[in-house]
Structure 1
C-alpha cells in the first residue's frame, strides 16, 4: 500500500505541474515530493520487517 501511495504522489505531482505566476513566483505542489519519499521509506521498512519476521518464523518452524 505505501508503494501505491508513493506512485500516486509522483503521478499527481507531474499531472499538476508547476508554473511561474505573473508576479514571478513559482507555483508547484512541492509538498508531494517529501510525502512520496515518506511513503516510500515506510514501505521499505515494512518490507524489511516482513522479511525478517518471515525468516524468524521459518527458523522456529524447523526447530
Structure 2
C-alpha cells in the first residue's frame, strides 16, 4: 500500500509538472507574438531565450 501511494504521488507530480510546463510554453508563445506585433526586439529576444531554455528541459 505504501509503494502504491508513493507511485501515485510520483505520477501526480509528473502530471502537474507537465501541465505547468505546457501552460508556461503557451504563455511564452503568446507573449512572443505580442512582442513581434510591437516590433519589440529586446523583449522578443528575452522571451525566445526563455522558451528555448524551457524546451531544453524536455
Is TM more than 0.5 here?
yes
Greater C-alpha radius of gyration: 1
- Paired residues, number: 37
Which residue does 2:21 correspond to in 1?
A: 47
TM-score (norm 2): 0.58
RMSD: 1.4
Name structure 2 gaps, 5 residues minimum.
38-58
- Which structure has more strand as a fraction of its residues? 1
Aligned partners of 2:29, 2:18: CA distance in 1, in Å? Answer: 17
* Structure with more relative contact order (C-alpha pairs < 8 Å, separation 6 or more): 1
- Which structure has more helix as a fraction of its residues? 2
Structure 1 segments of 4+ aligned residues over 2 angstroms from their partners:
none
Aligned partners of 1:35, 1:51: CA distance in 2, in Å? Answer: 24
Name structure 1 gaps, 5 residues minimum.
1-26
